[in-house]
Amino acid sequence: MQLRILLFGVYREMSGTRERDLSLPVGSRVSDVVAALRMSPGLELPAQPVVAVNQEYARMDRQLEEGDEVALIPPVAGG
């Protein structure tokens, strides 16, 4: 299945792109997207990155559907 991956903030800077397409087998989960992205050169993700699917926060075990939009949301620092 085809997924649209959105990268924000530091993730966009590390990867050099704002979005990309990703093909994964039917039945894949958010954790599979994270695993695939961890293999991307230069992209370093924390142990539990914040992820949204179709603009809603999602857990790592959420099953994905064809055409889903998966966004990686970088940590926010404040002060």
Domain carrying residue 36: 2-73
Domain annotation covers residue 79: no
Domain annotation covers residue 78: no
Other beta carbons within 10 Å of 14: 16
pLDDT along the chain (79 residues), means of 10: 96 94 98 96 92 98 98 79
Domain annotation covers residue 27: yes
User: What pLDDT is recorded for position 79?
Assistant: 55
- Give the H or E element holding residue 23: strand 19-23
Q: pTM (2 decimals)? A: 0.91
Distance (Å, whole) CA 43 – CA 2? 20
Measured between alpha carbons, how far is residue 72 from residues 3, 28, 56 in Å? 13, 16, 11
Residue 37: CA count within 13 A, CB half-sphere: 31
User: What pLDDT is recorded for position 78?
Assistant: 56
Give the chain's radius of gyration (CA, Å): 12
Instruction: List the CATH number of the domain containing 15.
Output: 3.10.20.30
